[in-house]
Structure 1
Amino acid sequence: MNALRQVAALARAGFEDYVAFEKDGVWTFAAGALASITLDATHVRARGALELDEPWSGSPCAALRDVLARLPFPEWNVYGKVHFGFAGIVPALRLQGVDAPSGELVRLMVPRTEVRISANGLSVRGEDRERVEAVLAAPAAPVPEPSPVDVRNDNGNYRDRVALAVKEIRQGQYQKVILSRVLRIPFGVDVVGTYELTRRGNTPARSFLLRLDGREAAGVSPEVIVTVDADGGVVTQPLAGTRAFGRGADEDSAARAELESNPKEIFEHAVSVRTAQEELRRVCRVESVHVGDFMGVKERGSVQHLASLVCGRLDEGRSAWDALEAVFPAVTASGIPKRESLDAIARLDEARGLYSGAVLRASHDGSLDAALVLRAIYQENGAAWLRAGAGIVADSTPDREFEETCEKLTSVAPYVVPAPDNPA
């Protein structure tokens, strides 16, 4: 079996909680919780190898960092998710007069078992080596059959919401906001099978598959929110500006040329890059912050985007968690200025949950990698859905932004696999 099929087989093997995370052609499958850490608007909690239930105040990422420092292991890796609502408890972004977000905002786990799969082979760390080996030695399951979902169904008045946002932008309330729409799937979904087919059809910056506390998600992330290496190097990669991809060489080339010359798309991308620089300067040595590969084009499955790298080096006394808090939520999933765009999102969008949040892994050595949760499928309590958004600026038109959501939804919608007991 290739790496993708191996990850799918492990995800089907009955582990209660797991996170699969792909970076640069290397998959890690992390399963079972030696310790789990959760954070909401008032408390941070740990269960398992570390037991605590404490109020927190100030910086939520500092609260997480402090709990991780108390883990009873000399070396550890954590995997987990951060909901978009986490932005509502970041001190610099809190909205006056708005209630704190409810429910769990962060869930991390220190896994019992970590399986690393790459072109160089497979390694297993932890308690379930024999179980892992048995799963991977078994015959591969058949490749699942999808039941594509119609991306053009709009029950959320998306165009009307875009028109209202354009009006507010032209009134000077904010410069840019990302508005999204939910596409509900009318049947139960095989999330693992959907992940396998979606990953085959896309070229993501990161991909992920998870089941945590009964909630499932899988996605092909087009960008990282932030990556921090063990030496303090920081990279964020804002993508903004979108056109369809995969329609044939001539159409793709024409779409790319139009993307690279379109004033609306160039403006949208440039202001995102400027914001990313300002955010990194809060936690990095100011002179180290710079832009690399400005306005390149990244092909991500059914779409292509303008992309730039914004890089820096952590300042003295700063950590990877400080960097995450500085850039969260991703500017390409929220807007500019962030505080005002978050207010617009609260008024004009449905509650987002994990959509446009992060799936991440972090380590005792100070490294952290947080993938932006887009191009994903979600399933909870028997309900499954897709979601996509578009960046709204003063020159936006409702029809074009709706079309952009269709282009993005097409990264996943053709690959949705019905659950075996609930065919479409």
Structure 2
Amino acid sequence: MFDESGLLAAYQPGGSSVFVSPRGVLLAEGVRAEAGCPEQAGTLLRDGAEIVVGAVPFALDAPARLVVPEKIRQSLVIGQRESRPPVSPKSQAHLDPLPDDEYVAAVERAVRDIRAGAYTKVVLARALRLNTPDFDPAPVVRGLAASGAGAYTFGVDVGGGRTLFGASPELLVARRGTTVSAHPLAGSIPRSPDPAEDARRAAGLLVSAKDRHEHTFAAEAVADGLRGFCRDLRVPSEPTLTATPTMWHLGSRITGEIADPGVSALALATALHPTPAVCGTPPDVARRAIAELETFDRGFFAGMVGWTAANGDGEWAVTIRCATAGPDGLDVYAGAGIVDGSDPQAELAETTAKLGTMLAALGVQHAA
């Protein structure tokens, strides 16, 4: 992406947040007011705030980081993507070993629980630590935006000296005027550097019964969540392929017309979060399974990141393909949907491929 506006160059973690999408670049600087949950942010918008920018964590009871900035700058027209690769960090990162055995065991347990009827799907994630204290994510954010690693690139101040950054391929929901859109992704396979094998994998994913089954959970949940707010909701009968540099995904682009113009993009996103694409079904049972089977706090991973303006327009992406940088180092995350028929080793390979987006941007290589 060629940033003609220079807003990406002006982005400085700690004092500003940036969100890049197909609609352009948004740079928020300073903090005029902040909210710890979407409901408080909605109140700020109704009370006259021009815009709210930030992130909401995966856990529904965890504090969000949503701010009314002192200054907002936007570039609504962006140029073509550049061919240059992401910018690697200056410091040499040390990668702690990935907990492969723990993850495989968790997937095996989840598959047994699914077959026993405890739930139908759960998303299990992995987290890894890079020992790079006081890391500056700004060059990586610019590199991710330039490389097209995901449709939604972000660097957001989440408080405590920490920055959430990444490049998500998944749109949770957007509102532009009366038009509402969402693009749930579920069902994935790692890409191959060999063009023929890559094409074979894409074609196989499109007809995979297991992956289409997994995708149906996510697409139907998003459609059901939007029906109460939209008229003339259009839901594809078949998923299509979405590509990132490391993954093929099944996606469904859902669109509709908002019935009540008073319902903002933030309100829509809050109603949908978390979707089965990052949680599972039934959602309450899946959340309990995640708390039991995962050995770390997801924080803002698998949450939502974006903005909403006073007129209700806005964009919220699902917070995947991301990392959190702070005084004590970097945490990188990736997850995979587990359903009946999931193979633990294949899910391990899928999460490793998904981790590759951020590891490549950070200049770190790992083979699992």
The answer to whether structure 1 residue 27 and structure 2 residue 4 are counterparts is: no
> 1:133 — aligned with what?
none
Letter in 2 for 1:82: V
Measure how far apart 1:323 and its partner are.
1.7
Measure how far apart 1:316 and its partner are.
3.8
Greater C-alpha Rg: 1
The answer to whether structure 1 residue 302 and structure 2 residue 279 are counterparts is: no
Kindly report which structure 2 residues correspond to 1:378-393, keeping only aligned pairs within 5 A, or say none. Answer: 378-393=324-339
CA contact (8 A) 1:7 1:27 kept: yes
> 1:319 — aligned with what?
263
CA contact (8 A) 2:8 2:25 kept: no
* Aligned with residue 290 of structure 1, among 218, 225, 234: 234
The answer to whether structure 1 residue 258 and structure 2 residue 204 are counterparts is: yes
> 2:16 — aligned with what?
18
> 1:208 — aligned with what?
154
How many residues are matched?
Answer: 353
The answer to whether structure 1 residue 68 and structure 2 residue 45 are counterparts is: yes
CA 1:254–1:79: 2 relative to 1, 3 Å:
same
Counterpart CA distance in 2 for 1:293 and 1:4 is 39
Q: Deviations over 1:264-308 (max 9, x none)?
A: 1111112221222222223334xx222138311111121110110
CA contact (8 A) 2:93 2:130 kept: no
Counterpart CA distance in 1 for 2:308 and 2:238 is 27
Letter in 2 for 1:162: V
Gaps of 5+ in 1: 40-60, 87-100, 122-141, 419-424
Q: Deviations over 1:66-91 (max 9, x none)?
A: 332123x5xx12211111112xxxxx
CA 1:344–1:5: 2 relative to 1, 3 Å:
farther
* Aligned with residue 112 of structure 1, among 54, 61, 70: 70
CA contact (8 A) 1:152 1:406 kept: no
CA 1:163–1:16: 2 relative to 1, 3 Å:
closer
Q: Deviations over 1:202-238 (max 9, x none)?
A: 442211112242211211011111112232x222211
Three-state SS of the structure 2 residue aligned to 1:289 is: strand
Q: Deviations over 1:236-258 (max 9, x none)?
A: 21101111225132121011011
Kindly report which structure 2 residues correspond to 1:10-159, keeping only aligned pairs within 5 A, or say none. Answer: 10-12=10-12, 16-24=14-22, 26-39=24-37, 61-71=38-48, 76-86=50-60, 101-102=61-62, 105-117=63-75, 119=77, 144=88, 153-154=98-99, 157-159=102-104
CA 1:152–1:299: 2 relative to 1, 3 Å:
farther
Counterpart CA distance in 1 for 2:324 and 2:203 is 34
TM-score by length of 1: 0.76
Kindly report which structure 2 residues correspond to 1:166-315, keeping only aligned pairs within 5 A, or say none. Answer: 166-188=111-133, 189-213=135-159, 214-231=161-178, 233-245=179-191, 247-285=193-231, 288-292=232-236, 294-315=238-259
C-alpha RMSD of matched pairs (Å): 2.7
Counterpart CA distance in 2 for 1:197 and 1:216 is 16
Identity rate, percent? 26
> 1:351 — aligned with what?
297
* Aligned with residue 354 of structure 2, among 372, 386, 408: 408
Counterpart CA distance in 2 for 1:281 and 1:330 is 15
CA 1:149–1:276: 2 relative to 1, 3 Å:
farther
Measure how far apart 1:21 and its partner are.
0.6
> 1:361 — aligned with what?
307
Q: Deviations over 1:302-331 (max 9, x none)?
A: 111011012233334761243222211132
Three-state SS of the structure 1 residue aligned to 2:301 is: coil
Q: Deviations over 1:42-99 (max 9, x none)?
A: xxxxxxxxxxxxxxxxxxx44432332123x5xx12211111112xxxxxxxxxxxxx
Measure how far apart 1:36 and its partner are.
2.1
> 2:83 — aligned with what?
none
Counterpart CA distance in 1 for 2:87 and 2:344 is 38
Measure how far apart 1:392 and its partner are.
0.0
TM-score by length of 2: 0.87
Three-state SS of the structure 1 residue aligned to 2:109 is: helix
Three-state SS of the structure 2 residue aligned to 1:115 is: strand
Letter in 2 for 1:340: V
Q: Deviations over 1:121-153 (max 9, x none)?
A: 9xxxxxxxxxxxxxxxxxxxx955565776972
CA contact (8 A) 2:55 2:64 kept: yes
CA contact (8 A) 1:283 1:322 kept: no
Counterpart CA distance in 1 for 2:99 and 2:5 is 34
Counterpart CA distance in 2 for 1:338 and 1:153 is 27
